[in-house]
């Protein structure tokens, strides 16, 4: 079987492009984090673990407007900066009592 140099180069380029796509996907999976506008996003489980609270408590924080959130394809997400601000505000309220 013989392949000319041009065809070989074409196929090697396609293979390398596929490797680049797979590498990008693996990097996303390894970090396990979604990013939106250079802001790391946390899902419900991330926030529950971080704050060490129940799902009902998290729901109360959302309903009362104390913790901002948004949905993407029916799944709830929180900006990392919003969660940090929530923690700071909560600790400030606790220490001032």
Per-residue pLDDT reduced to its tens digit, 18-52: 888 777 666 555 456 677 777 888 999 999 999 99
| Helix, strand or coil, per DSSP, at residue 37 | coil
Task: Examine the domain organization and report whether 27 and 56 are in the same domain.
Answer: no
Report the run of H or E that residue 35 belongs to, with start and end. Answer: strand 34-36
Task: Examine the domain organization and report whether 56 and 94 are in the same domain.
Answer: yes
Q: What is the Cα–Cα distance from 76 to 67, expressed in whole angstroms?
A: 12
Residue 84 has pLDDT above 70, yes or no: yes
- Read off the pTM: 0.62
Task: Examine the domain organization and report whether 28 and 50 are in the same domain.
Answer: no
pLDDT, average across residues 42-63: 95
**Per-residue model confidence (pLDDT) at position 13:** 93
| Helix, strand or coil, per DSSP, at residue 70 | strand
Cα–Cα distances (Å) from 37 to 45, 53, 79, in that order, read 21, 27, 10
Degrees, nearest 5: CA angle 26-77-28: 5
Helix 80-95 × helix 44-51 angle, to 10°: 30
pLDDT, average across residues 6-29: 80
Q: What is the mean pLDDT of the chain?
A: 85
**Per-residue model confidence (pLDDT) at position 94:** 63
Task: Examine the domain organization and report whether 42 and 26 are in the same domain.
Answer: no
What is the tally of structural domains in the chain? 2
Report the run of H or E that residue 43 belongs to, with start and end. Answer: strand 39-43
């Amino acid at each position: 079987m013989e392949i000319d140099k041009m065809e070989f180069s074409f196929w090697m380029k396609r293979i390398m492009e596929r490797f680049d796509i797979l590498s990008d996907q693996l990097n996303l999976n390894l970090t396990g984090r979604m990013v939106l506008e250079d802001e790391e996003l946390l899902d419900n489980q991330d926030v529950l673990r971080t704050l060490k609270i129940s799902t009902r408590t998290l729901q109360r924080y959302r309903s009362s407007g104390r913790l901002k959130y948004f949905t993407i394809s029916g799944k709830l997400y929180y900006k990392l900066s919003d969660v940090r601000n929530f923690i700071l505000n909560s600790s400030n309220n606790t220490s001032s009592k």
